[in-house]
Structure 1
Amino acid sequence: MALSKATVFSQKYTLNPEFNDKKSNKELLGEHDSLSLTKCAAMCQGVRECCFYGFNPQKKKCRTHKKIFTSGVFNEVDWRYYADECCLSGWRRYQDHCYLFQQTFLNWNEAKTNCTNNGAYLVEIDSKEEDDWLVEQISMRNGGKNENQYLGATSHAQLGVWRWSTDNALISYSNFWPGQPNLYAAERCIVLDWDATYGTYKWGDTRCEMTRKFICEKDL
């Protein structure tokens, strides 16, 4: 059974035993209370710059760092440190995935190629939480208005049957506006569609030859 994005991210951190019982304020993002290693991992995952974190199970503390520290090290027992892959500059992280909000206007096929050339794919949204996060990110840019974004699903093979382009899997989550998709034969692609009346985004179908902004996604 495939693991969800939320499940996978906590399994990708690598223990760095050479930092056992060590501590440093170099590259430090913050120190927080944390009841468990999993919660500490989630703290690091939730910060785009975090690539390294330490957890102290006795003190129930979590320290998040930009990267592995190489100086200013001193001894303090019970700290264990874990490294993680990070997103490239310009990309934003959510759970175990990186997202690039492209500002170029391309048609769907061109957008798909652009993402492929970046080692990624057109974004595939599989939960409300991911959807909400993407909307939040878009809305922070110029008020979020008139910036419809291509998603990676199409109904090229069969009208009204939406599949992700990476593996041809049926979409398992959707968030269409009322009346969408309207199933016009020419509208075989999906966008995150801004509506000024409601001041937010939901999904809508569109003609694939229309030029839109788009979001690339890749796995860590």
Structure 2
Amino acid sequence: MKFPGVILILLQVHLSNGEDAHCSRYHYEEQTLAKIVRMEHRLEELEKRRDADCHCPDGWVTFQGSCYLFSQAEVNFLDAEVLCSQTGGHLVRVESEQENNFLKHYMKQLKNAHYWMGLSDMDQEGTFKWYGTNDVVSFTDWISGEPSNGGGTEHCVHFYHGHSYSWNDAQCNSLMKAVCEQKSK
């Protein structure tokens, strides 16, 4: 919304009355509207700069400095990591409630499916780390009763669509879609 035309109209109408008592009030209004215009311009510049700083490849979605790709192919956990690395990323590492909520909201808009994330306890049962790192998970969103390590064979984590995309452990050879992540460029 632009206000310069409004400022000119207000000045013309009020100054044409010739009332000096109203001049100071109109001068104040003019200054206020000018400040609003400057703030709008600054906001537009910041948004342009942010969008330029957060560039994601085509088909990827941006959120807080990261880019996300929601694969269509159903693959096992290790193949999901390979698929993500071939696109320049890795399986998603959910680091905050805000990021988790963003991902869950986005997946709810897609066709119901399970999605791999990059979390597993393959190295040590019950110690969940982000794949390819020694980083132990700090934020979690487990379904009640999970992780269960059902049958002693569930070591990889996915977003479970039947429970609003909360987290569940599953067998790593299960076939699911993947959420890939890379830092925006």
TM-score (ref. length: structure 2) = 0.73
Which structure dedicates a bigger proportion of its chain to helix?
Answer: 2
State the partner residue of 1:151. Answer: 117
* Secondary structure of 2:73 counterpart: strand
Q: CA deviation at 1:107?
A: 0.3
RMSD over equivalenced CA pairs, Å: 2.4
Summarize deviations over 1:81-115 as a string: whole Å, max 9, x none: 67414001100000100000001000001000011
User: Is 2:38 the partner of 1:59?
Assistant: yes
State the partner residue of 2:170. Answer: 206
Q: Which moved further from structure 2: 82-91 or 186-195?
A: 82-91
State the partner residue of 1:109. Answer: 78
* Secondary structure of 1:110 counterpart: helix
**Superposed structure 1 runs of 4+ greater than 3 Å apart:** 64-67
* Secondary structure of 2:107 counterpart: helix
**Residue 146 (structure 2) aligned to one of 157, 172, 180:** 180
State the partner residue of 1:190. Answer: 157
User: Is 2:137 the partner of 1:171?
Assistant: yes
Q: Which runs of 5+ in 2 are unaligned?
A: 3-34
State the partner residue of 2:6. Answer: none
State the partner residue of 1:134. Answer: 103
Q: CA deviation at 1:208?
A: 0.2
In structure 2, distance between residues paired with 1:98 and 1:85: 8
In structure 1, distance between residues paired with 2:66 and 2:36: 27
Q: Which runs of 5+ in 1 are unaligned?
A: 1-29, 32-55, 68-80
Q: CA deviation at 1:183?
A: 2.3
Whether the aligned pair in 2 keeps the contact of 1:188 and 1:205 (CA below 8 Å) is yes
Change (3 A) 1:63 1:101: same
In structure 1, distance between residues paired with 2:122 and 2:71: 23
Change (3 A) 1:57 1:116: farther
In structure 2, distance between residues paired with 1:217 and 1:57: 38
In structure 2, distance between residues paired with 1:132 and 1:66: 23
Whether the aligned pair in 1 keeps the contact of 2:149 and 2:170 (CA below 8 Å) is no
**Structure index of larger Rg:** 2
State the partner residue of 2:180. Answer: 216
* Secondary structure of 2:44 counterpart: strand
Q: CA deviation at 1:58?
A: 7.8
Structure with the greater relative contact order (CA < 8 A, sep ≥ 6): 1 or 2?
2
In structure 1, distance between residues paired with 2:78 and 2:167: 19
